[in-house]
């Protein structure tokens, strides 16, 4: 009886949006499909609170197609996890209107196109995991507006360009993983502002130059993976300066020779 009551009270726009998602991603062929004649409270992967859709978790479910623009009709949505499917195409711009979203997990699909430039509108986001897709273009500077973000994983895409300086605004960030892209440029000294950072993974890109001396101040780092870039200098002592490091990886050329001297150019410019 409760289920039927819930079904009756889910708004028509949210029911229509669920059906749009079902139809756009070949719902009949999902591993676990929906019986759309059943109450929405019985639909696999859909979580309701107060008759509103607050979570959609359809990972590993053989979704095949594109995300429909109607995704924006889930005004109360906090979790969207569509990882490990066969989704493709660009992310609908309407996705960035989901202002209550806290987790966006779309990894291990075949999404393409640019990461939406206004991704920074998702100001409640704590987790943004888009790795193992075909996203290209630059990381949008608006990403710095995601002040609550704790996990940013954009690895294994086709991203280019430099790290946006706004990344240093992500004061809550614990995981920054960008490996296996075509990102370039130097690592800014402002990275020290990510004081909560536990995992920094930049391997397999085209970064270059000296590592900023401030890197040694990130005392919470447990994982630091920087190999297969063009970094200069010898950083054999860096691991000793980071007390909690468990996983550490540099190119062989960066671990030989004299004691590491991290870049301290900024100190010389103070006068």
* CATH number for the domain harbouring residue 108: 3.80.10.10
Show the CA angle centred on residue 211, arms to residues 245 and 142, nearest 5°.
90
In this predicted structure, what is the pLDDT of residue 271? 37
CA angle 106, 160, 125 (to 5 degrees): 35
Neighbouring C-beta atoms of residue 195, cutoff 10 Å: 12
> Could you tell me the two tokens for 11?
């708004």
Contacts of 268 (CB under 8 A, 6+ apart): none
At 259 the pLDDT is 45
Q: Which residues of the chain have pLDDT under 70?
A: 1-8, 257-271
pLDDT at 262: 53
* pTM for the structure as a whole: 0.91
Q: Could you give the number of structural domains in the chain?
A: 1
pLDDT given for residue 257 in this prediction: 54
What span, in angstroms and rounded, lies between the C-alpha atoms of 222 and 218?
10
Contact at 8 Å (CB) between 18 and 70?
Answer: no
Which residues span the domain enclosing 221?
2-268
């Amino acid at each position: 009886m409760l289920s039927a009551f819930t079904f009756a009270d889910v708004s028509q726009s949210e029911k229509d949006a669920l059906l749009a998602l079902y139809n756009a991603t070949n719902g009949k062929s999902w591993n676990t499909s929906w019986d759309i004649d059943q109450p929405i409270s019985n639909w696999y992967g859909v979580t309701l609170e107060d008759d509103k859709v607050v979570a959609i978790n359809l990972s590993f479910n053989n979704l095949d197609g594109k995300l429909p623009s109607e995704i924006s009709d889930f005004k109360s949505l906090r979790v969207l996890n569509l990882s490990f499917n066969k989704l493709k195409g660009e992310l609908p711009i309407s996705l960035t209107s989901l202002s209550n979203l806290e987790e966006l997990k779309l990894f291990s699909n075949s999404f393409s196109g640019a990461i939406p430039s206004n991704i920074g509108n998702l100001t409640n986001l704590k987790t943004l995991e888009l790795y193992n897709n075909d996203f290209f273009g630059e990381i949008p500077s608006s990403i710095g507006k995601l002040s609550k973000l704790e996990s940013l994983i954009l690895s294994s895409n086709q991203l280019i360009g430099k790290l946006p300086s706004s990344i240093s605004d992500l004061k809550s960030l614990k995981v920054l993983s960008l490996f296996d892209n075509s990102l370039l440029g130097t690592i800014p000294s402002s990275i020290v502002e990510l004081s909560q950072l536990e995992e920094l993974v930049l391997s397999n890109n085209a970064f270059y130059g000296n590592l900023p001396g401030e890197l040694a101040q990130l005392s919470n780092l447990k994982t630091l993976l920087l190999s297969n870039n063009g970094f200069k200098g010898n950083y054999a002592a860096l691991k000793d300066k980071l007390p909690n490091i468990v996983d550490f990886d540099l190119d062989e050329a960066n671990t030989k020779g004299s004691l590491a001297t991290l870049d301290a150019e900024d100190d010389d410019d103070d006068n």
